[in-house]
Amino acid sequence: MPDMPDMRGTEMRTGGCLCGAVRFEARQVPAEAGICHCAQCRRWTGSALIGVAVPEDAVTWTGAEAIVRYASSDWAERGHCGRCGTPLFFRLTREGTQWSGQYDMPLGVFDDPEGFSVTSEIWIDHKPGSFAYAAPETRKQLTRAECLAIFDPGNAA
């Protein structure tokens, strides 16, 4: 079945974890991806999180019982496959922020990793200079403080 752009110019995409225990069908997947350079994403992915934001209600999981959720901070959790460890999503647990209600899903979990372009970077002030990849600074960039103002608005310093 071909990708079917919806009226927002987004696509339906399928994907899953390394072992296949978790599969998903995601609608409204945007083409614009972002990189997070925070230390948590660095450890969680082993590099940096390059992900796309998909509305939670646009994702249908198969094998959801294999998903393990880990509360990585007071404002967010991460889901991974409990069998193979594949990172599946980052999501804000705070309600009502501009980024609530969506899964930030690593590009690598989609069956077809083509068709995305990286247009933004966050936690830009924590990006390691020694990383081999070079991210053009023409992208939209947010610092840690700017991110915390979104993720955890009540406590952001």
Least distance in angstroms from the C-beta of 41 to Zn ion? 3
> If binding is defined by CB under 5 A, does position 17 make contact with Zn ion?
yes
Residues whose CB is less than 8 angstroms from the CB of residue 95 and which lie 6 or more positions away in sequence, other chains included: 101
> If binding is defined by CB under 5 A, does position 69 make contact with Zn ion?
no
Please report, for residues 11, 72, 88, the alpha-carbon distance to residue 69 in angstroms, rounded to integers and kept in the order given. 26, 9, 10
Compute the distance between CA of residue 86 and CA of residue 64 in angstroms, rounded to an integer: 13
Q: Which of 29/124 has CB closer to Zn ion?
A: 124
> If binding is defined by CB under 5 A, does position 19 make contact with Zn ion?
yes
> If binding is defined by CB under 5 A, does position 23 make contact with Zn ion?
no
Coil/strand/helix, residue 157? coil
> If binding is defined by CB under 5 A, does position 118 make contact with Zn ion?
no
Least distance in angstroms from the C-beta of 55 to Zn ion? 19
